[in-house]
Homo-oligomer: A and B are copies of this chain.
Amino acid sequence: MKLQEIERAVEALQTKLSTDQITLNETVRELHGRDESYHAQKLPDIVVFPATTKDVVNIMEISKSLHVPIIPFGLGSSLEGHVIPDNGGITIDFSQMNQVLEVLEHDFLVKVQPGVTRTQLNKELKKYGLFFPVDPGADATLGGMAATNASGTTSVKYGVMRDQVRDLEVVLADGTVIHTGNKAAKSSSGLHLNGLFTGSEGTLGCFTELTLKVYGIPEHVSAARASFPSVKDAVEAVVSILQAGIPIARVELVDEVSIRQVNLFSETDYAEKPTLFLEFHGNEAGLKQDIAFMNEIVEGHNCESIEFETDNAGRNRLWEARHNLAYAFIHGNPGKKMMVTDVCLPISELAGAVADAREKVFALGMVGGIVGHVGDGNFHVLLMMDMNDPEEVAKAQLLNEQIVLYALERGGTCTGEHGVGIGKQKYQQQEHGAALLVMERIKQALDPDNRLNPNKLIKQETRGAVQ
């Protein structure tokens, strides 16, 4: 934005918000100009901190009258540059809208503001014997998680973010406030706006309230670590467990390179072999039978060792090790940035895809671990690269592209859970074909000025083609 435009916008904002809700401070703008990805930093011109839905409506109306872009911001833990302003504008930071508004325990629902984080919510829910299952690793905000349709380790049992959304309060581009759903468990009334807005990455509106499904904390939980001679054996074991109808609550593949990094960082001494981290929820008798059956299955897939953790502390240690993996790589490779690939394939294609990616990382001589939410067919290569080494960056980008194309050719998707943001736009045409035009028409219908997180998810150049 030009200086004059910024001044005019601040002036307008000051008529509606208090002074401490508006800032031009460079440090604050810098914090809002990046996320946890390798994508280049770009600053917003203004950062605002609404406290209410009405504040957001006022900001949106000013954005409309002055033609200023709006970028919604949770905690900046996105992985594809979702919160990085394309070309300046107003970043709306939702950190002051961080109240758990209502726990409807008998309806298994909770109503929250968008700035509530996942661990904050779970702390509150624990009082009611409830929990919120979606766990993307980072302690992201629920608004951000809904915006990217986040998922993670538990989605094999509980589903992804979109499956939890019962209602969103959304401020549209023109300042209108809508509700996308209701409190009923199912509905065949009208078009499915819950699903459309979840995963829309701030391009169709700003979320100001979310009503989400929650679950009873399971009676019994059992966790295990199982190591295998090869990634292929590990993945095939998971497929067999799923086919046997054993209800896994979590299953994570961590390859040998990643286990080594975990051991270095978390001071564990796990066998440096492709390993499955597993968790089962259920009643005591049922779990016992499931686990006995599972033991037989993994044995048939050359499992070399399996260790169980049934107490809380042991389970927490196990999942902490898994969650700390990204930090372990970053910590172990100072000065490098991480690129995280994120394809998801039909489960029958997963073993081949992971093996292919592993080979390619080795062939390029790069540092990179592979982890996967293998129950869903989703895996990540955590690739370390020196951003000052153009050759290394080019190699990482080539690898990412090869992994995406491998998935798309086999009926998969370029992003299982991180979203499109900036990084995956170039694959949208190939993945969606003519359906991309439908998405573009919807964007145009709901944000005709292209002010909402412009050039994320859907690129403006492509939109120009729609008539």
Contacts and interface: CB of A to CB of B under 8 A. Distances in A.
Given A176-B434, A178-B434, A284-B289, A184 B441 contact: no
A376 B198 contact: no
Interface string A182-209: 1111111111111110111000000000
Contact of A414 (B160, B172, B189, B345): B189
Nearest to A168: B435
Nearest to A179: B435
Tally of this chain's copies: 2
A24 interface: no
Contact of A418 (B188, B284, B419, B442): B188
A437 B177 CA distance: 11
Interface string A265-294: 000000000000000001111111110010
A347 B107 CA distance: 6
Given A431-B189, A442-B445, A413 B182 contact: yes
Nearest to A411: B183
A162 B195 CA distance: 10
Nearest to A167: B411
A104 B348 contact: yes
A396 B187 CA distance: 22
Interface stretch (A147-155, A223-231, A360-368): A147-155
A416 B199 contact: no
A412 B188 contact: no
Interface in A361-400: 375-378
A354 to B, nearest CB: 14
A438 B182 contact: no
A297 interface: no
A444 B185 CA distance: 29
Interface of A: 104, 106-109, 148-151, 155, 160, 162-163, 172, 176-180, 182-196, 198-200, 216, 218-219, 239, 242-245, 282-290, 293, 342, 344-348, 375-378, 407, 411-420, 424, 427-428, 431-439, 441-446, 457-458
25 contacts: A104-B348, A107-B348, A149-B187, A149-B188, A182-B431, A184-B376, A184-B378, A184-B413, A187-B415, A187-B416, A188-B418, A188-B419, A189-B414, A189-B420, A191-B439, A192-B199, A195-B196, A196-B196, A216-B243, A219-B245, A283-B290, A285-B288, A286-B290, A441-B445, A445-B445
